[in-house]
Amino acid sequence: MADLLRRGEVTSRTLTEAHLAPAERQNHALHAWLTIDRERALDEADAADARLAAARAEGVDAAKRLHPLLGIPVALKDLVSIAGGQATAGSRILDGYRSPYDAHITERLRDVGAVVLGKTNMDEFAMGSSTEHSAYGPTSNPWALDRVPGGSSGGSSAAVAAFHVPLGIGTDTGGSIRQPAALCGVVGMKPTYGRVSRYGIVAFASSLDQIGPFARDARDAAALLHVVAGRDDRDSTSAPVPVPDELLALSASNDQAAAWLRGRRLGLPKEYFVAGMEPGVEERVREGVAALEGAGARVEEVSLPHTEYGLATYYIVAPAEASANLARYDGIRYGPRLGDGTVLENYLATRGRGFGAEVKRRIMLGTYALSAGYYDAYYLKAQKVRTLIKQDFDSLWAQGFDALVAPTSPTVAFPFGARMADPVSMYLSDACTLPVNMAGLPGISVPCGLAEGLPVGLQFIGAAWSELELLRLSRAYEAITADAEWRTLEPTDLPRADDPSTPTPTERARAASAGVSQALTSPQAGVLRS
Q: Which is nearer to another protein, 9 or 376 (CB)?
A: 376
Q: Which is nearer to another protein, 393 or 460 (CB)?
A: 393
Q: Does 510 contact another protein by CB under 8 A? A: no
Phi, psi of 150 (to 5 degrees): 85, 180
Q: Is 138 left (phi over 0), alpha (psi -120 to 50) or beta?
A: beta
Q: Does 18 contact another protein by CB under 8 A? A: no
Q: How many CB atoms sit inside 10 A of residue 7's CB? A: 12
Q: Does 348 contact another protein by CB under 8 A? A: yes
CA distance 335 to 329: 8
Q: Which is nearer to another protein, 263 or 341 (CB)?
A: 341
Compute the least distance from the CB of residue 134 to another protein, in Å. Answer: 19
> Binders of another protein among 361-390, rule CB under 8 A?
361, 363-365, 367-368, 371, 374, 377-378, 380-388, 390
Q: DSSP state, 102?
A: -
Compute the least distance from the CB of residue 295 to another protein, in Å. Answer: 32
371 HSE (CA, 13 A, CB side): 6
Active site residue 91: no
Q: Which long-range contacts (CB under 8 A, 24 or more apart) does 109-112 make?
A: 109/69, 109/74, 109/227, 109/228, 110/44, 112/67, 112/69, 112/70, 112/227
Q: Which is nearer to another protein, 192 or 502 (CB)?
A: 192
> Binders of another protein among 81-120, rule CB under 8 A?
96-98, 100
For 75, the 3-state DSSP assignment is: strand
- Work out which of 28, 40, 92, 360 binds another protein, going by CB under 8 A: 360
The closest alpha carbon to 406, from 361, 452, 446, 351, belongs to 446
Q: Does 341 contact another protein by CB under 8 A? A: yes
Q: How far apart are the first and last CA of the chain?
A: 32
Q: Which is nearer to another protein, 290 or 364 (CB)?
A: 364
Q: Which is nearer to another protein, 252 or 388 (CB)?
A: 388
CA angle 184, 284, 478 (to 5 degrees): 70
Compute the least distance from the CB of residue 208 to another protein, in Å. Answer: 9
Q: Applying CB under 8 A, which part among 21-29, 124-132, 151-159, 325-333 lies near another protein?
A: 325-333
* Of 130, 152, 157, 466, catalytic: 152
Active site residue 77: yes
3-state helix, strand, coil in the chain (%, to 5): 45, 15, 40
> Binders of another protein among 178-207, rule CB under 8 A?
192-194, 207
Instruction: Give the chain's length.
Output: 530
Compute the least distance from the CB of residue 189 to another protein, in Å. Answer: 17
CA distance 489 to 216: 13
CA distance 228 to 67: 12
Compute the least distance from the CB of residue 264 to another protein, in Å. Answer: 24
- Work out which of 309, 486, 492, 510 binds another protein, going by CB under 8 A: 309
* Of 12, 77, 99, 140, catalytic: 77
HEC sequence for 348-386: HHHHHHHCCHHHHHHHHHHHHHHCCCCCHHHHHHHHHHH
Q: Does 218 contact another protein by CB under 8 A? A: no
> Binders of another protein among 384-443, rule CB under 8 A?
384-388, 390, 423-424, 439-441
Active site residue 190: no
Compute the least distance from the CB of residue 394 to another protein, in Å. Answer: 10
CB 135 within 8 A of CB 38: no
Binding mask 138-177 for another protein (x = CB under 8 A): ----------------------------------------
* Of 176, 197, 409, 445, catalytic: 176
CA distance 43 to 53: 15
Catalytic residue list: 77, 152, 176
